[in-house]
Structure 1
Amino acid sequence: MDADQGNLFAGVPVGAADEVFTALLERRGLKIERIVSNGQASPPGFWYDSQQEEWVLLLEGSAAVQIEGEAAPRLLQPGTWLRLPAHCRHRVAWTEAGRPTVWLAVHYDGC
């Protein structure tokens, strides 16, 4: 077996028109990806509704995630993590426009 190595901050796209999703590891029932946002937000009325659980860690920048049924979006700053159960409807309210927002997302099958 060969070991892999990388750097989450290598090649971070700056000013991309769309969010950039980079798969880092994929196995049955598991996906780990880097997400880079440059001021993007979910389109009006759009909600993520995943069959998998999701755990996200904000590494750089800032963002707010709106969870359906909650009065206000949750602010995420570097070091903030958020666990979203399967079918927890959520959307990205905003991401920082002045610099890239870098997320580490782990998608996995629940118990």
Structure 2
Amino acid sequence: MHTGNLLGQIPSPLPSEVFADLVSTNNVRIERILSQGQQTPTGEWFDQDEHEWVLLVQGEAILAFITPDTGVQERVHLGPGDYINIPALLQHRVEWTHPTETTIWLCVYY
């Protein structure tokens, strides 16, 4: 058995994003990500083979998506408690995270 605290061990300042696997099995991975002003580099997009369920625990973020059928870019603003399910292979990126407040993400890859 392993215990921890999702809100614990948060370094300050955060010069770069911090990634930590909380649970990892053959079928599911749960990850905590800490951000503070970081974003996906311009022109880069994620499109992983897994579905990704994201809960924004603290902070704020803006995600961008490319709609597969139309190629149109859509933006979604997330605040504390908001979640989104990102289907596998959907192109997405982090456009913005709060520059002075730590953004805590809980991501479930399945």
Matched to 1:73, the amino acid is: R
Using the size of structure 2 for normalisation, the TM-score is: 0.92
5+ long unaligned stretches in structure 2? none
**Cα distance, 1:43 vs structure 2:** 0.3
Q: Distance in 1 between matches of 2:12 and 2:76?
A: 24
Query: Residue 91 of structure 1 aligns with which residue?
Result: 93
Q: Over aligned residues, Cα RMSD in angstroms?
A: 1.0
Larger mean CA deviation between 70-79 and 95-104 belongs to 70-79
Which residue of 48, 51, 55 corresponds with 1:53? Answer: 51
Larger mean CA deviation between 92-101 and 14-23 belongs to 14-23
Runs of 4+ in 1 over 3 A off after TM superposition: 69-72
Q: Deviations over 1:19-68 (max 9, x none)?
A: 11000000002110100001000000000010000000000000000011
Query: Residue 9 of structure 2 aligns with which residue?
Result: 11
Using the size of structure 1 for normalisation, the TM-score is: 0.91
5+ long unaligned stretches in structure 1? none
| Percent of matched pairs sharing the same residue | 39
Query: Residue 101 of structure 1 aligns with which residue?
Result: 103
